[in-house]
């Protein structure tokens, strides 16, 4: 299946989107120069073509997010190449709302495998749809920001959390912002 991509500018820098008729295959967060991003896309998706008109609605949603005007995404994702485990993790993670955080331990418990902390971390590290599947909202049990593989690393993760009004100081989210129970239950939506 033929893929197309677009590179566009948002408040922190250049973003890239790659997708096909099924949906987005990859979201590249800001952190690279435009040419570096183009080279990375060409390397990872050699059969893709740049089409600036392909992903207009998606571009609009990301611009709105980074300008503080959007808290949810409504975009088709092509998840045909992920594992059942990743699908389970991403399904739970997608339910963590804007302005909330969860822990790796919580995610492991919610998928029914409390000892799978490393596997949950790996699923987050290989998330191809950051922001839409909000891996930036996952923190360590002690509140420290960990494991953000996007360009810009933990600095970008802190910026994204602050954009969602989650305070981050010295690389850590305050303890009172880290739920002992699932983030969704704090708002009365069940556990």
Residue 152, token pair as written in the block: 């810009």
For residue 48, give the 3-state DSSP assignment: strand
Question: Which residue in 17, 37, 108, 135 is the catalytic one?
Answer: 135
Cβ atoms of 17 and 26 within 8 Å: the answer is yes
Residue 23, token pair as written in the block: 């949906």
Cα(1)–Cα(22) distance, integer angstroms: 9
Q: Active site includes 135? A: yes
Cα(137)–Cα(75) distance, integer angstroms: 19
Q: How many helices (H) and strands (E) does the chain have?
A: 6, 6
Cβ atoms of 140 and 103 within 8 Å: the answer is yes
What Rg value do the Cα atoms of the chain yield, rounded?
Answer: 16
Positions marked active-site: 135
């Amino acid at each position: 299946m033929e893929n197309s991509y677009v590179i566009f500018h948002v408040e922190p820098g250049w973003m890239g989107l790659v997708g096909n008729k099924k949906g987005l295959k990859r979201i590249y967060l800001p952190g690279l120069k435009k040419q570096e991003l183009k080279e990375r896309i060409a390397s990872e998706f050699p059969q893709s073509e740049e089409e600036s008109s392909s992903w207009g609605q998606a571009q609009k949603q990301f611009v709105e997010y980074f300008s503080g005007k959007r808290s949810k995404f409504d975009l088709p994702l092509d998840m045909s190449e992920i594992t059942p485990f990743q699908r389970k993790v991403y399904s739970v993670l997608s339910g963590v709302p804007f302005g909330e955080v969860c822990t790796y331990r919580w995610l492991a418990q919610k998928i029914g495998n409390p000892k799978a902390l490393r596997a949950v971390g790996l699923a987050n590290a290989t998330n191809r749809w950051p922001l839409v599947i909000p891996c930036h909202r996952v923190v360590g049990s002690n509140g420290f920001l960990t494991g953000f593989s996007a360009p810009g690393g933990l600095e970008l993760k802190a910026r994204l959390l602050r954009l969602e009004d989650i305070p981050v100081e010295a690389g850590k989210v305050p303890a009172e912002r880290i739920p002992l129970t699932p983030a969704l239950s704090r708002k009365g939506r069940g556990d």
